[in-house]
Structure 1
């Protein structure tokens, strides 16, 4: 018995002092690119050596861009701080990071489109990868925050961001800045809620000084969701928002459905055929000048409910509930916004209703 206790304690200590556990949620080393190449490693804005940018390995046509810099008449927007990198045709940046094998992680980064109209990014941590289209700008400031998730298959992984574009101008490519990582601990369903992560409190890293929210791409481009438990089943992203910058109905996090019916979030839950359930949730607005008539459509299997919400754009919420009888052992619940909406103070920024506090409970006495 004593030997077993010693072995158990040894395992605990080895886990506690595992070097991979030194990973802290937040910026990757030089994730804001404020530490740049030496003058000898630059040819104008082009970075010459593969290891010229501290903490990063680069490949292809990579530029080191300073805030305020122009390309012709176009101002190159640096999302964070004074510097960013631009990835030209087939260019990439890579960094190796210590992680814990088997755990899930989310990457958050800023990206700004420049001169190419069909820009997209390939982000990968082997064997996971995803292509993030950047044709849609969700903010009028020229850049958006994106999240992407992966499961670590070893104690060290290489995070790679690659521009697969083939533009006539090799310099035409997205600006990349502010790259951070966060460990995700997938929540479980409970007797109090059959929906996992129904309050959206577990999600990607949100920068303390970023007031735009974080875009979560569709599941067709992301095998592991940055919002554990949830899939984005649509052509467009949903936005993950925080209470420091937005009005959130409950807790510190919520989801904004920013692209009408092209922005949907879903989860498959365990149910018992023939049993009655109540799917409850809260809809509202993020207090971001998103005004007008909104409708959130809720689905539970073949059952639907449309919840109207009249937004004044200054925060507010209302509860709703959908009662249904399960037809199988797995029921898909899904939420989407009926309409596209633009902010009243900025007609170039997409917005929409906020979804929060999603709960699913069985009804003991459905006739009561």
Structure 2
């Protein structure tokens, strides 16, 4: 009995050795915001030197720093996105944690990362056998940090999440800051008699931190074999942003997609169709009420058919509806959306923004 109580106490304090796997719930992983600090005896300045298990609930390797909000490195202020603390991964450094999951299920990791002083910062995110390298050269917001999503399929009932900095800089301390690591189970949506497309309202997607207002970036599918946005693929060079109704204007429901980077930012889905049959693709185009102003155009494609939908944004929310009628020419039809232009926020010329799309539906039509 005493041993059980001791183990429970250790788990609650999140100071267990790494070989204990934490059970999963949607939200932050154990000590996912890094507010539980290493012991003072395990620190040398900002560098964690107390061994692999010095950071509560995580196993670390390489040059890992424990950074306090407001800390400076030379003339550079190190900004912690949330709370008081974050970790910085230097040359070839990594953090990892084991979590109990359901074998065969899909999951999405959401984490916040900020660049510091390396020239070409990137992060390798992996859950065996899946892995992806997320480049961080493009800053989508002027805050200095972005939230990223990456998905995987659980091949085992216990998985190991690894976030690794593969960079090698002259200064071993140069590397990205990591904060707020969370996990969410994804439930693959299915077509219905009201919509041939899956997840047309974008309600199923990665975890969105409830106390943040910058959305979540979904990277191109070349970086991720499994999409954090079930049913959809990011078929472009740049990410799209997953936004929520708590912090943005959303045309329908609680979630939507913001197309951030012109024609380099596109989403697509392949739907089953019957050759020769008539279909209609309908959707909403708007703005996120994030000071993204100006003339916007969303291009929608259904196979070889296309429509350009102009939208004059005042940056204060609102949307319009559009539709594209087409005749299917094959058993599978590719549906795609992109923004014609790059747009920057009117109150912040360093932050990319763009039109919002939502409530995407496709139905078959009777021949007139």
Which bracket does the TM-score occupy, shorter chain normalised? over 0.9
Which residues in structure 2 correspond to 1:141-152 (within 5 Å)? 141-152=143-154
Within 2, Cα distance between the matches of 1:164 and 1:71? 21
Show the counterpart of 1:228.
230
SS state at 2:87 partner = strand
Distance 1:345 1:267, change over 3 A: same
Please report how far the alpha carbon of residue 186 of structure 1 lies from its aligned counterpart in structure 2 after TM superposition.
0.8
Please report how far the alpha carbon of residue 117 of structure 1 lies from its aligned counterpart in structure 2 after TM superposition.
2.2
Name which of 131, 134, 139 aligns with 2:133: 131
Within 2, Cα distance between the matches of 1:21 and 1:79? 24
Q: Deviations over 1:280-330 (max 9, x none)?
A: 100000000000000000011111110000000000000000111111111
Within 2, Cα distance between the matches of 1:138 and 1:327? 38
Task: Tell me if the contact between 2:22 and 2:30 (Cα under 8 Å) persists in the aligned partners.
Answer: no
Within 2, Cα distance between the matches of 1:66 and 1:22? 28
Within 2, Cα distance between the matches of 1:43 and 1:206? 34
Moved over 3 A (4+): none
Gaps of 5+ in 1: 1-19
Which residues in structure 2 correspond to 1:228-267 (within 5 Å)? 228-267=230-269
Matched, 1:92 2:94: yes
Show the counterpart of 2:5.
none
Please report how far the alpha carbon of residue 104 of structure 1 lies from its aligned counterpart in structure 2 after TM superposition.
0.5
Show the counterpart of 1:193.
195
Show the counterpart of 1:46.
47
Within 2, Cα distance between the matches of 1:191 and 1:272? 15
Q: Deviations over 1:42-68 (max 9, x none)?
A: 111111111000000001000000000
The two structures have a TM-score, normalised by structure 2, of 0.93
Within 1, Cα distance between the matches of 2:56 and 2:172? 24
Within 1, Cα distance between the matches of 2:181 and 2:291? 28
Within 2, Cα distance between the matches of 1:21 and 1:39? 25
Task: Tell me if the contact between 2:89 and 2:177 (Cα under 8 Å) persists in the aligned partners.
Answer: yes
Within 1, Cα distance between the matches of 2:23 and 2:31? 16
Task: Tell me if the contact between 2:22 and 2:98 (Cα under 8 Å) persists in the aligned partners.
Answer: no
Name which of 272, 275, 279 aligns with 2:274: 272
Task: Tell me if the contact between 1:21 and 1:100 (Cα under 8 Å) persists in the aligned partners.
Answer: no
Show the counterpart of 2:26.
25
SS state at 1:220 partner = coil
Within 1, Cα distance between the matches of 2:279 and 2:321? 16
Show the counterpart of 1:153.
155
Show the counterpart of 1:209.
211
Gaps of 5+ in 2: 1-20
Within 2, Cα distance between the matches of 1:323 and 1:236? 28
Number of positions where the alignment pairs a residue of Structure 1 with one of Structure 2: 347
Task: Tell me if the contact between 1:130 and 1:221 (Cα under 8 Å) persists in the aligned partners.
Answer: yes
CA-based RMSD: 1.0
Matched, 1:304 2:272: no
Within 2, Cα distance between the matches of 1:94 and 1:243? 32
Name which of 299, 316, 319 aligns with 1:317: 319
Within 2, Cα distance between the matches of 1:21 and 1:254? 31
SS state at 1:219 partner = coil
SS state at 2:55 partner = coil
Please report how far the alpha carbon of residue 98 of structure 1 lies from its aligned counterpart in structure 2 after TM superposition.
0.5
Q: Deviations over 1:248-298 (max 9, x none)?
A: 000000000011111000001000111111011000000000000000000
Please report how far the alpha carbon of residue 89 of structure 1 lies from its aligned counterpart in structure 2 after TM superposition.
0.9
Matched, 1:170 2:176: no
Within 2, Cα distance between the matches of 1:347 and 1:102? 43
Within 2, Cα distance between the matches of 1:43 and 1:328? 64
Please report how far the alpha carbon of residue 21 of structure 1 lies from its aligned counterpart in structure 2 after TM superposition.
11
Distance 1:82 1:245, change over 3 A: same
SS state at 2:33 partner = coil
The two structures have a TM-score, normalised by structure 1, of 0.93
Within 1, Cα distance between the matches of 2:332 and 2:169? 45
Distance 1:22 1:176, change over 3 A: closer
Matched, 1:64 2:76: no
